[in-house]
Amino acid sequence: MGLFKNFVSQTRKPEGFLGKLMVNGMNSGHAKLADWGMSALDGVSADCIAELGCGGGRNARELMKRYPQAVLTALDYSEVSVEKTKKTNKKAVEAGRCRVIQGDVSSLPFDDGTFDLVTAFETVYFWPRLEKCFKEIARVVKPGGSFLICNESDGTDAATLKYTAIIDGMNYYTPEQLTDALRTAGFSQIRTRHYPDKPWITVLAEK
């Protein structure tokens, strides 16, 4: 159990050798979920995007494909994730389309009203003081801008809930809990979706 716990705990903040293994697996292991999640963005336009909790950088790459004119900033508080994201998006970084930085979502290093779109794939589970983090995101989103959350768990399925007992600081949220926190933070027009036969969810909120 010790090695397993150490490995799965890398989902929170990848570090060292096990962290490098984890971020390598994130890019392929979460691809189907992320692609489904991005389908919630149909009709959403964006020229300036922030991808928070960028992990291995695969979703940043796919967002830039989806929005070929956009400039994207990827942020993670794991140095391992930052370096992996830079490698995954090397050409975009060199071209000036992608900036990758280390930072904390509870205190974002961005000016007010910077982004048209902010995304968070498989990451809000680990955010301390969720409403504070959402208020930070509301601060950096432009009026009329959007915030997309994509999670593999709707906060009720036993198969994923077991990880909250294994990974310190991990919390799953129901769509209702996320919606309440988003409204408190200042978002409106919040739409939730469930995958047909999985506990996957997206929550799309407009400021």
CATH number of the domain enclosing 123:
3.40.50.150
Say yes or no to pLDDT of 102 above 70.
Answer: yes
Which residues span the domain enclosing 194? 2-206
Say yes or no to pLDDT of 137 above 60.
Answer: yes
Percentage with pLDDT > 90 across the chain: 71
- Label residue 45 left, alpha or beta by phi (over 0 means left) and psi (-120 to 50 means alpha): beta
Write out the two tokens for 167.
């990974």
Question: How many domains does one find in the chain?
Answer: 1
- pTM, rounded to two decimals: 0.88
Q: How far is CA 186 from CA 141, 142, 145, 151, in A?
A: 11, 12, 12, 21
Say yes or no to pLDDT of 129 above 80.
Answer: yes
Chain segment 145-171, per-residue pLDDT in tens: 999 999 999 988 876 766 666 666 678
Q: What is the CA radius of gyration of the chain?
A: 16
Q: Which residue has the higher pLDDT, 112 or 162?
A: 112
Say whether 200 sits in a helix, a strand or coil.
coil
